[in-house]
Each structure stands twice: as structure tokens, then as C-alpha cells.
Amino acid sequence: MLDIQDLKVALDGEAGIVRAVDGLRLTIQRGETFALVGESGCGKSMTALALMRLLPESVRITAGRIELEGGDTLALPESQMRAVRGGRIGMIFQEPATSLNPVMRVGDQIVEAIATHTALRGDAARAKAIDWLRRVGIPEPERRIDEYPFRMSGGQKQRVMIAMTLATEPDFLIADEPTTALDVTLQKQILDLLRDLQREQGMGLLLITHDLAVVAGMAQRVALMYAGQIIEVASADEFFQSPRHPYAQALLRALPAAARRGEPLAAIAGTVPALTQSFAGCRFAPRCASAMAHCATTLPELTLLGPTRSVRCLLYAEGGAHTPVHPEVSKGARQGFDTSARTDLSSPLLAIQNLRVRFPIRKGLLQRVSGYFDAVGGVSFDIQPGQTLALVGESGCGKTTIGKAIVQLLRGQADIEGRALLGGSNLFDMQGDALQAARRDIQIIFQDPFSSLNPRMRVFEILEEGLTALHPDMDAGARRARLEKLAEQVGLRREALERFPHEFSGGQRQRIAIARALAVQPKLIVCDEPTSALDVSVQAQILNLLEQLQRELGVAYLFITHNIGVVEYIADHVAVMRAGRIVEQGPGEAVLQRPQHDYTRTLLAAVPRMVLATV
């Protein structure tokens, strides 16, 4: 169905021409699910945008062919490409908050897509839009179809994007992180829906994701991408049971799990190299545990190892016997966590008591309040110093609302009852200097990094803003030194501090958001899906960093996530939410291994699992 030959994509950067995709070759059959995985910034999303011809003006395709059932889409004029884009090829974008029109009702956006690419109009198109909102799990679709995107949670916006894409019933679908913002139950529902569509329509699917468990359950074939190149292609079974490329092996070792709790994950040292340079050797060599002397001077080609398998590595070229040059480089943080910090567990750092959050429902021309929506209905929990409480549950159940209420981001927007005691003082009663002091102790990492970063400020200015406001005694030199060190800790090169947010991938922007929260050295961080936009290797770096900071500084975390593997690895206590209430909470091992509530059992049963070989 899709045949990509020698695709090259370049963009103009401040440091020179960035070769984002360099000689990519892929073939995808009708009805096949082909997974494209790899580290943030390696070119996955740029490949997807090139296939749709949606590249920004500063980005261009410099070579290659993209054939859709025999026709080269790169040769089509834009007028004909519009019929292909959305009609024959659909795309689920990575960031729904920036892909949905904020001034259009979600229903109008779905109906527009249906009317453009199908014969349906008017009431029939609206009925189909409602049906698709129901199929992707939007509650009360007849009412929610007339809402604006800002009234929906991140997961709900992602479902709207999926409904809008699938409603046109395309022949081929590009899904760029389609389930990133979804909890496990909805993720299962969406993936089952995609499987059904493939069976019914023979739809081809290019799945771009960093969730390897989803890949294991969905894909027939897998391509691993690194620094703009494909470095391994294999069937899904081959990839997970016997990965060949050292990068693939390192990725699978970096996965969080209950069995790895208490020890650092095998994070991969360093970052993806700058793609402005001309490479003389293997692009992964500086980070590779199996690198040989000639890896730095010899360009590896894709070596065919079997009918469905190829690897770009000199280990598998002719005469592949080798002696590793730096075998310890990829072990990352395996030196052991520093447990020097001591925390006082006699009293909680933060005590939430009977928290209720209600949002006003406004109607009419004058937007008068006609009622209230109870987003959080009386929850209570404690967070101990130096420990992690994981808050899990379906999208829209109130998890993020609790986090925003704690950091005082809902003042004037919602009615808040109950108490949030920080050091014995109620956060909801604080004003002026007292509130300013509390902000030094509590920070937040937002779910959507793109919309939470000022697009007109450089990264250094974004990180420095918090230090300037909350630590005015720190001079410019000390601020610079701290931020440069922090950038390295979260896996960013120092030169990244001088760039703007739009110059980074989604995962790299999330690292910037994490660095911003860590900059003022708070006592508590509300982590709202902090690793949802990160690939496996960077997720391991961030989890190791959060664990190390917790042990060194005694910082506590309210960890809002739908990734149960991360919960198993990092959480001391777990609270399970449903429809604004906590239905079960307790020590992490007890809740995850011996759940008592039916909803908790349902949630855990929906978690995708994979069996890995020892790598």
C-alpha cells in the first residue's frame, strides 16, 4: 500500500541545515500495522508530516519517493493532495491541544472533515460525528459535541482528534502517539477500534509511538529509528525476543517495571547527536556499549539478516568480531541511588482533606451561571516527605483538577472546598507573601508541554523566570550555572538553552517543562503525566533523575499518570480515582498486586503487557 524510497527531509536551523530524515526506506502492506519507534528527536514525527506533505515552510523534502498504491504523492499538485490528505491518508497528531481549532466547537470540526471527504452533509454528518464520539469513548456525546476543546481534558481532546480522523474512513492511517494522553482502559478501547477498522476496511496503519507494550500488542513489523535513519527492521516477535542492534537492546533494558523497583533503570547515556553535522561513522557509536574503534570512521549500511529482518550495525557486517571500546557508556545511572537524605515521616508534607472542586456551568448570551459541575467530590489523602503518591484513573476523572487546585491554578475559575495543609497551613487560605513562599515549595509539570511553554521566550529565559521570581537573591552567574547543569540532567545539550520551544520535538519540550519545575528546588512537585510524551530511554533518564532528587533532597511527588509500569516502579502509595472520587488507596504493592475494588481490577486488566527476552 505504501512504499517510501530514500526519503530525505531537511530544515534550516540556526546552526545550519538539519537532516531530520536521511535516506528512509519503508514498505507497508494493506491491512498491516507497522510500528515506527525510536528516541525523541530521531525523525519519527517529521517522517509522518512528510508523508502528509504538512511540513512547515522552513522544512523541505530534498529527495525520495512516497508511493501510495503506485502513485507518487510528492508529484501531486496541492489541489489534488488535499483530497488524499484526510480522505485516503488520515493522521492522528501527537498534540491534540494544538491540532484542534480552539475557536470551533469540536462537533463542527468533525463535521467539517466528514463533509470534505464523504458525501454526508447536515444532520447526517452530525449524526455520524456523534456516533464516532461515542465509539471513541466520549461520555454524553450528544452534549459534548457542542463544546469547545478547552473544556475537555487532554485525553478527551485526543479522543476527539481520533474521532475526527477515523470518521472519514481513510485507506491508510498515520497514528503519531495516538494513545499518549489516554488511560489504559480507553487506550485498549481505541486500539481495539483500530484493529476492527483494519479488519473491515483493510486499512494500513503506521503507528508511531514510544509505548513498546502497545507495539508488542498491535504491530506485525517494527522499525527502530535513530538520528534520522532506520537502524533495525524486524517482525514484532523478533524485535522483542531477540533485538540485534545495541540501541534496541538498551531500550528494552530501560523499561520500568515492578521487578526493577529500588534500582536505577538502564538509561542510555547522552542524547541524540545534532543532525547538522556530516557523519563519518555510526551515529550511535558515542553512546554504544559495544562500539569498536572503526565504528567512529565507518558508515554502517542496513545488513539483511533474514526475510523480514535488517540491522544497521557493523557488528553484523562481514567480519563482525569485535572488542568493545567503552562497555560501560550505556549503563547510565547504574551507580546506585544516593540515599543520604533523611525525611521525617511523622507528619505528612501535604494533607488533602475532603477536597471538592465545582466548575460553574454558564449559559445564554450573558453567560449566567445555571448550575455546577462537580469535578472532584470530596477526596482525602496524605503525601509524605520524600515519597511518591501515584494518582491513577480514567481520563476526565479529576486527577489533573486535583493537581491544579493544589498549586492554586483554579482560583477564580472554580469553587473549592476542603483543606490542603502544607506545613499546617491551608493553601486555599493563603494570600500575598505566604502564597509566594508556598510556590517555592510546590511546583507542577504540566501534561501538555507545548501549550505550557512561552513560544516567544528562549529555553534559558523560561527556566530562569522561576528562579528570578522565587529566588531573587541568586545572581545571574549562579542562575546560569544551575540551569546549565539542570539541562544536562534532563538530557538536553547546553546549546539548547538558546533555542525556542518550537525548535524541539514533543519529548524534548517535556524535558524543558520538567527542568522548569525542578529549577527552584521545591519540596513537592505535582507531576501531571510527566513522562507521557517521552520515549523509553528518556523516560528512564527522567525517572532516575526524579528518584535521585527524591533521595538527595527529600522532594515528594504527586504523580498523575496512566502508565501502570511507571506506577509499579516509582510509587510508594497509589490512589485510584473514578468520577471525581477515590475508590481505593493504599501502599503501591498492595493496590497493584491485590486490588480490592472492581474498578481497580478492570483498570489493571486493561494494561498492555509484553514478554521480554533477557537482553
Poorest-pLDDT segment among 137-151, 212-226, 293-307, 496-510: 496-510
Any domain includes 227: no
Segment 78-92 shows an average pLDDT of 90
Calpha distance 597→160 (Å, rounded): 30
Q: Which of 331, 355, 373 is the last residue of a domain?
A: 331
pLDDT, tens digit (0-9, with 9 covering 90-100), for 249-265: 988 888 888 888 888 88
- Choose between 80 and 333: higher pLDDT: 80
Q: pLDDT tier at 345 (50, 70, 90 boundaries)?
A: low
pLDDT, tens digit (0-9, with 9 covering 90-100), for 395-433: 788 999 999 999 999 988 899 999 999 988 999 999 888
Q: What is each CA distance from 110 to 171, 335, 469, in whole angstroms?
A: 18, 51, 43
Any domain includes 422: no
Residues 473 and 591 in one domain: yes
- For the four alpha carbons of 234, 238, 241 and 245, in that order, the dihedral sign comes to negative
CA 298 to chain CA centroid, Å, is 34
The grid coordinates of residue 399 equal: 486527577
pLDDT at 320: 54
pLDDT at 389: 97
DSSP structural state of residue 258: G
Residues 250 and 202 in one domain: no
Any domain includes 224: no
Any domain includes 107: yes
Q: pLDDT tier at 333 (50, 70, 90 boundaries)?
A: very low
pLDDT at 15: 77
With a pLDDT cut of 90, the percent of the chain lying above it is: 49
Poorest-pLDDT segment among 64-68, 215-219, 278-282, 346-350: 346-350
How many Å from the N-terminal Cα to the C-terminal Cα in the chain?
34
Segment 507-533 shows an average pLDDT of 86
How many residues in total does the chain contain?
Answer: 615
User: Who contacts 481 (Cβ-Cβ below 8 Å, separation ≥6)?
Assistant: none
Residues 162 and 25 in one domain: yes
The answer to whether 556 and 383 have CB atoms below 8 angstroms apart is yes
Q: pLDDT tier at 607 (50, 70, 90 boundaries)?
A: confident
Q: Which of 294, 311, 331 is the last residue of a domain?
A: 331
pLDDT at 322: 44
The grid coordinates of residue 385 equal: 516527605
pLDDT at 189: 82
Residues 310 and 396 in one domain: no
Q: pLDDT tier at 323 (50, 70, 90 boundaries)?
A: very low
Residues 396 and 539 in one domain: yes
In this predicted structure, the answer to whether residue 533 has a pLDDT above a threshold of 50 is yes
Residues 113 and 262 in one domain: no
Q: What is the CATH number of the domain that holds 402?
A: 3.40.50.300
Q: pLDDT tier at 318 (50, 70, 90 boundaries)?
A: low
Segment 46-65 shows an average pLDDT of 92
Calpha distance 243→254 (Å, rounded): 14
Residues 324 and 200 in one domain: no
Any domain includes 578: yes
Poorest-pLDDT segment among 247-261, 347-361, 441-455, 600-614: 600-614
Q: Which of 285, 300, 331 is the last residue of a domain?
A: 331
Calpha distance 138→365 (Å, rounded): 27
Residues 260 and 211 in one domain: no
Most confident of 247-256, 263-272, 330-339: 247-256
Most confident of 85-89, 199-203, 206-210, 228-232: 228-232
The grid coordinates of residue 510 equal: 517535556
The grid coordinates of residue 135 equal: 465509539
pLDDT at 147: 92
- For the four alpha carbons of 102, 107, 110 and 111, in that order, the dihedral sign comes to negative
Residues 187 and 40 in one domain: yes
- Choose between 310 and 535: higher pLDDT: 310
pLDDT at 599: 93
| Overall domain count for the chain | 3
Residues 438 and 326 in one domain: no
**DSSP-derived secondary structure for 62-75:** EEEEEEETTEEGGG
Any domain includes 364: no
Q: pLDDT tier at 611 (50, 70, 90 boundaries)?
A: low
pLDDT at 346: 60
Any domain includes 232: no
Domain span at residue 55 reads: 2-219
The grid coordinates of residue 592 equal: 497493584
DSSP structural state of residue 297: T
In this predicted structure, the answer to whether residue 559 has a pLDDT above a threshold of 70 is yes
In this predicted structure, the answer to whether residue 35 has a pLDDT above a threshold of 60 is yes
Residues 449 and 324 in one domain: no
Stated pTM of the model: 0.75
For residue 205, the cross-strand partners are 33, 173
Q: pLDDT tier at 83 (50, 70, 90 boundaries)?
A: confident
pLDDT at 329: 37
In this predicted structure, the answer to whether residue 316 has a pLDDT above a threshold of 50 is yes
Residues 105 and 169 in one domain: yes
Which of these, 432, 425, 444, 506, lies nearest to 181 by C-alpha position? Answer: 506
Any domain includes 374: no
The grid coordinates of residue 358 equal: 465545582
Segment 230-242 shows an average pLDDT of 94
3-state SS, one letter per residue, for 575-595? EEEECCEEEEEEEHHHHHHCC
